[in-house]
Structure 1
């Protein structure tokens, strides 16, 4: 079926906004984290089981193949297609917690982290904990039988799923928790059930097959289908339910699953233990398996060298000998006595093994996080340091404990011999599960051949010599499909082929994955990695950046913007790529190699500002005082009119003007601030009643941003005084004499100019502010506090390092808590951590201050960047609305909201129906000077 006909057919079945057949959308949506690329003919977003059934029935009828995609973080080529790609939409982001958290049902569109946040209040969590858990969705966690560092086989998806709802290739729905549904399915699919029963009998009655399956699944194993289902269960529905786990979308679609959750102990301790070599660290497996250990993470010398130069890493990393290895051990309990006993037992069990330093456990939170930062930084550092234009491949193998030392030594020798000596090796020691990176040059035939030869030798070493697993937890995909038979043998591989035929007789579900007769498929359709821009050249398209992106459900994600920039020519400047990018930088935090896609978008804006834009920006920069004064007066007008004709009518008029103006007029709402009061002096003495005032009050420089100098309050806030007034009040109560820089009306940090691409004007304003703050602070002697977190972050990035710069939340937390007396207000409030605050690690400080001031503090789940993005919320309100879609539900019974960015507070108010304002309002209300 040609593309135009396919689009016509699909458009009859789904709303037009859910069907994508254009080159741009198919390219960017068809990308996943693996090293392969296929471009789908169509992408269909589905939001309900009914829509999935409709699509599968169409594909079954027309004999068109279809592939399912959740987060697209799979590494082995599982979620790409050159036919129809089915993308899971927001309709599958639902949950139900039961039995006080012991069981939980999740839609497959939720991320693992989102699910764990819901379980946290019950001190429970999911058993599977893949490294991608922040981004990976329940659908992918199930489809790949994810496990991770914490619990290995015992608590993987296979062993913790109680029931699921499955939609098969013919569109039939089965609910395995419903006896009637099970009965009906068996009656309507007798041939299918007969084939499952026959497979079960063959696997259990053939002793050799049964023993091999049992032995192979003593290890972590996701290579091929989960044929352990055939020997672990006798009921055909139970068998097919467990066959679905790890089936990578080749047998059917799971729409939801109910899990048995795992207890999450309150207290944790960790130790970083160093060993002379890999063999020595492998000796720790068997002793540790008899201890209460929640994680035991192996790191080889290359891994440790990859992070040793990073800030905050332990000093001993640089002192380790050439062949040293490390083991990060984690143990947890609900009380200190039990935790101490577990630590003693681990130390005793490892006492006979040589270590480079004495074993020391810590419960100190900062040291605990430091050690885990070493572990979590491995992949980041290795991928960032790889040679240009190379791919990043993470292999994933497992061995029995008895052979692990020999096996890893052989793997390291193979890596050196085949030209991948720089490979970084780490893994989950308790499971004998090891990951390592290789960086093949897949842009050249020689590089591809070198990689192919390595894979053939690796598979022989793992599967034949040491009888290990070729894929322990990353799934088979296209990457390992040609080698499944080598690991399992012809008979069991034959069972797997019959499983595929029983579930999917027309082979329309994700063809080429797991079962593939093409022995070279693992080196076909490889991603070309072009040099596009130094900002993004290290991107491996993993998708970790997507979950926090404010435009992810509106237009594009950071990964998709990078793919579009890399592969589409000329470079696309568009509504999707540019205008709806908030440039908030949260993608850079989530990215394993630290790529801030917003920086790329800003660069595109810089290249396209034009002479007229430069002239206007230059005029504003040169006349900031006059512009601020004019805007202050203009902001008062709509509120004056609204008080006469009513706010509902005024908002209707504003919406009409916004629509007619098509980007000329900003969208006004009742939460758009009125004008602020002008600050008329530069020195504000301390409150005489403050305790510190009598002994010579301390000095602080306060820079009220151009936004807070311009934008005041709104009637819905029920507050007298704007942000600068409240900031001054709090500082004076704490006994500070406040200095405001001279020429304040003309000062601006330059961020607004920079984000729009006006570099020259941004530099001018940055320089002016820098000079003013140095003068006011006595060349950095006095602290400087700013009342807008985005401005403060920009100031830290651009101004003189001698300046001691603080956000309002940070300054209150670090300097004022001992100078103020707090009385908790009898209110329930919501707080929002802005993107800039997240980057400055102010989340806990914001919460701490808020909890001193209010009886109940709510942090809404799944709310990240608000998408206001400076002034973008005025002109692209759909970005703000999409980013904050979960907010109204998330605030619960909160009657007020607080943050630390005046513009963000506008969008938060609009989308919650609760007036958000600066945290200083709450502090001023709850605190008095001592």
Structure 2
């Protein structure tokens, strides 16, 4: 029976809200992207932020028999987070509660909590959650539980299966269960007795079948996430324990996980790492069994192909190039809660493998700078291979597991398969203590022949892993569509029937993530494969992993860099396949989401494993879209910037006066009318600042050290807002502060006309941007007395733009740097603030001055609060004036995360401060104000 998705859309919007549901083709396509090599575009996408929304969605889905796929962060690699029908995505505002028990032994986490955020809150208690996947900084708890994700150290002892205490669940029929609440369990027993009876019966039958029970125990002696967690049927008899553990690794096919309570594990205070370099893989593999002791927390194996791929790359050890062919490396880490125990562990580890010859001495280091380079090799594999893969190829990471004693032979066999099936670039690395190998290949999927080649390879891998070594086809990445055809091969018919019985008991209509884990289609792993169209260097490098989404200020509003790139890829694919009309239609439909609303903050580069830069890409695209008229306007602004800047500043003074006379309503109507005439008129905001002022130089000839001060556009254009405590402008404060510290202040005569070029670069006009920067640098250099005097700039974004890719042969620093290194020690503190807020925005992160900002703030305040999860204000230069929805969405949680006692906040960029003030309800100003007020005599 066909499904009327128009009716489903109508009912969903009525049930959960119009804005929560979309059938927009561009957004459906973009949001269907996850970290796997599959592409399945849903009919509808719903963003949910509270459990009742999920209940309502399930009711509509049951009525229409519409399939549902649950999606957390979408970092999944096996195709379990994409699906037909209704895609239910965890939103950015709900399911994020973190509750730590009084004894710190348990932590309850909402499904949308990012793993690293949970650990950050547990760290003061020397605790963490057990699972430690490589995606911990981006993936959400819902995904961690549903994939039974593990990692380098948790192995099979501290994964979700072993450390789950309870869970709050929503089932396909609408029933709810908290397995940690007795009243909930009683109510569930009345509502779903057949499920409890079925599960208890399956456990009894499995435990009675000694051959099957032993087979299950044997399969979980190594890492295994292939299929459902059948170990629950031999480990437990209580049906609620069974539900608790069957949901782990179920990939959204059994229930929706609202929250989970974990038993916490200890976070060791002391760590040491060593790099053991062996002549060959056999020697490295033979070192693993003696290292499987409590002394060793992790041992990561790198084969020769892995070593070659990182040799000569930035941050890698120089001596890698000297290693002979065939070398293998073990990265060994020991952890302890005290130094003496750590030293004992490192000696024990060294002694355990002393009988095996190594090419370099095994020396453990406790210096993060030293062992950080070791682990950079391990973490660098994925970005290096992914970033340098041939254009148009995909990057696929699979993970298999073997008994430790089989590792060396299995590695040799896998390497041979790479050569046989045409993937010579393949590398092998992984969690050696657990017999877990990851391997990376970068296949083309341009033709059916490419797809058949990949199929032959995967069939050969399955034969090797299952038939030759009786290993696991999936060790920690979940089954998904990638391995669904091989589940029965690995487990056998009887165990496979058990899995089908489990699915039927939980979800008799088969609504939840159909086709994932269990799928009768033997070719599902080679269907719906993403097509990686060649676009340009920025787009082609992206691996669509989703790491960027946590820090991107527009992820909640509409799109993250991953979504923008996958949309650009599809437009290019349509063009290259001759579908010009469809490409043009998608390009026009995507303009707002892809181009117009990107803040170009470039925070994506910090999280991106392949150093991609969506901000630079979008600026290039904007440049290509400039019309001749728009270019003439930009040229005029550049040629007459002094006058333009004067008019802007005066305009805000005029607007301030108008507002004072007429009030919010009339001023707002006048501004709205102005916007109908010109898009250059900003949206009205009662918190708009007055105009700024220019700095006034001090008198020369007083034998004091000289500094050249450049007031950037923001501070000289925009003065105080109505929420600011006084009417002083940033240039006035800076001159006062510098004079108080004993400096003579000089400023360029033509300050109004000078600019770093940021406003042109943001529009893609690099010609004017670079010309204005050169003009500014030349003017500042002329004032330095041949480089004798330092130049100070009072806006982080301006400093960054000026220093980036420019040749400067004199000292030019940001005011924040100068305040921290020079002014603090020269000024007497007369008073301290009790509590202040501090924003460390995108430019501060890029310039790595967050620590200095905190040092300054703590020097003058007893309490400094950095609201959690605020990485960028979303104001984006002048964009906040014309697209205020970006700023509003990026800072939607700011006010609620500021303690009541805080009435003032600080940053170091005027435009950002305007946006922060607008959405916090308190005054945000430059850190210079804090320093000036606290060092003011009297």
User: TM-score, structure 1 length as denominator?
Assistant: 0.94
- CA displacement at 1:875 relative to structure 2: 1.5
Match of 1:883 in 2: 890
Within the candidate set 608, 616, 621, 2:633 is matched to 616
Q: Does 1:844 align with 2:846?
A: no
Cα offsets for 1:265-300 (capped at 9, x unmatched)? 333333333222222222332333213333322223
Match of 2:12 in 1: 10
Once the two structures are superposed, the pairs formed by residues 241-252 of structure 1 within 5 Å of their partners are 241-252=244-255
Residues 928 and 150 of structure 1: CA distance in aligned 2, closer, same or farther (over 3 Å): farther
How far apart are the structure 2 equivalents of 1:302 and 1:782?
52
How far apart are the structure 1 equivalents of 2:800 and 2:236?
57
Q: Does 1:69 align with 2:77?
A: no
Residues 331 and 827 of structure 1: CA distance in aligned 2, closer, same or farther (over 3 Å): farther
Match of 2:466 in 1: 463
> What is the SS of the residue equivalent to 2:306?
helix
Cα offsets for 1:398-430 (capped at 9, x unmatched)? 122222122222222222332222123221222
- CA displacement at 1:700 relative to structure 2: 4.2
Q: Is the 8 A contact 1:111 1:133 kept in 2?
A: yes
- CA displacement at 1:191 relative to structure 2: 2.3
Match of 1:740 in 2: 747
Cα offsets for 1:21-64 (capped at 9, x unmatched)? 13222111122111111111111222222221121122223222
Once the two structures are superposed, the pairs formed by residues 540-689 of structure 1 within 5 Å of their partners are 540-568=543-571, 569-570=583-584, 571-572=587-588, 574-640=591-657, 649-650=663-664, 652-660=665-673, 661=675, 663-669=679-685, 671-681=687-697
Q: Does 1:208 align with 2:225?
A: no
Residues 804 and 218 of structure 1: CA distance in aligned 2, closer, same or farther (over 3 Å): farther
How far apart are the structure 2 equivalents of 1:368 and 1:809?
31
> What is the SS of the residue equivalent to 1:857?
strand
Q: Does 1:19 align with 2:10?
A: no
Q: Is the 8 A contact 1:823 1:853 kept in 2?
A: no
Within the candidate set 900, 907, 912, 2:908 is matched to 900
Match of 2:575 in 1: none
How far apart are the structure 1 equivalents of 2:455 and 2:786?
61
> What is the SS of the residue equivalent to 2:756?
coil
Match of 1:50 in 2: 52
Q: Does 1:447 align with 2:464?
A: no
Within the candidate set 141, 146, 157, 2:144 is matched to 141
How far apart are the structure 1 equivalents of 2:736 and 2:539?
45
- CA displacement at 1:173 relative to structure 2: 0.8
Match of 2:478 in 1: 475
Match of 1:912 in 2: 920
> What is the SS of the residue equivalent to 1:435?
strand
Within the candidate set 745, 753, 759, 1:752 is matched to 759
Residues 810 and 56 of structure 1: CA distance in aligned 2, closer, same or farther (over 3 Å): same
Cα offsets for 1:599-649 (capped at 9, x unmatched)? 22222211222233222222221122222223233323344455667xxx4
> What is the SS of the residue equivalent to 2:218?
helix
Once the two structures are superposed, the pairs formed by residues 331-370 of structure 1 within 5 Å of their partners are 331-370=334-373
Q: Is the 8 A contact 2:694 2:711 kept in 1?
A: no
Residues 654 and 158 of structure 1: CA distance in aligned 2, closer, same or farther (over 3 Å): farther
- CA displacement at 1:863 relative to structure 2: 0.8
Match of 2:769 in 1: 762
How far apart are the structure 2 equivalents of 1:279 and 1:700?
64
Report the count of equivalent residues. 916
> What is the SS of the residue equivalent to 1:679?
coil
Range moving further from structure 2, 154-163 or 266-275: 266-275
How far apart are the structure 1 equivalents of 2:403 and 2:623?
56
How far apart are the structure 2 equivalents of 1:712 and 1:269?
52
* Structure 2 unpaired stretches of 5+: 572-582
Range moving further from structure 2, 816-825 or 47-56: 816-825
Cα offsets for 1:890-918 (capped at 9, x unmatched)? 23243321111111111111221221111
- CA displacement at 1:140 relative to structure 2: 0.7
Q: Does 1:859 align with 2:866?
A: yes
Q: Is the 8 A contact 1:128 1:141 kept in 2?
A: yes
Q: Is the 8 A contact 1:362 1:368 kept in 2?
A: yes
- CA displacement at 1:847 relative to structure 2: 1.8
Q: CA RMSD in A?
A: 2.4
Q: Is the 8 A contact 1:851 1:857 kept in 2?
A: yes
Residues 678 and 62 of structure 1: CA distance in aligned 2, closer, same or farther (over 3 Å): closer
How far apart are the structure 2 equivalents of 1:816 and 1:746?
28
How far apart are the structure 1 equivalents of 2:740 and 2:379?
43
Cα offsets for 1:432-469 (capped at 9, x unmatched)? 21211111111122221211111111111112212211
> What is the SS of the residue equivalent to 1:99?
coil
Q: Does 1:257 align with 2:260?
A: yes
Q: Is the 8 A contact 2:39 2:528 kept in 1?
A: yes
Residues 724 and 323 of structure 1: CA distance in aligned 2, closer, same or farther (over 3 Å): farther
How far apart are the structure 2 equivalents of 1:823 and 1:115?
39
How far apart are the structure 2 equivalents of 1:653 and 1:268?
64
Within the candidate set 27, 30, 37, 1:28 is matched to 30
User: TM-score, structure 2 length as denominator?
Assistant: 0.93
> What is the SS of the residue equivalent to 2:177?
strand
Within the candidate set 858, 874, 879, 2:881 is matched to 874
How far apart are the structure 2 equivalents of 1:379 and 1:85?
28
Residues 823 and 295 of structure 1: CA distance in aligned 2, closer, same or farther (over 3 Å): farther
Range moving further from structure 2, 536-545 or 657-666: 657-666
Q: Is the 8 A contact 2:658 2:667 kept in 1?
A: no
How far apart are the structure 1 equivalents of 2:338 and 2:451?
54
Residues 633 and 357 of structure 1: CA distance in aligned 2, closer, same or farther (over 3 Å): same
How far apart are the structure 2 equivalents of 1:812 and 1:358?
46
Q: Is the 8 A contact 2:831 2:934 kept in 1?
A: yes
Once the two structures are superposed, the pairs formed by residues 472-551 of structure 1 within 5 Å of their partners are 472-551=475-554
Within the candidate set 797, 801, 804, 1:794 is matched to 801
Q: Is the 8 A contact 1:789 1:834 kept in 2?
A: no
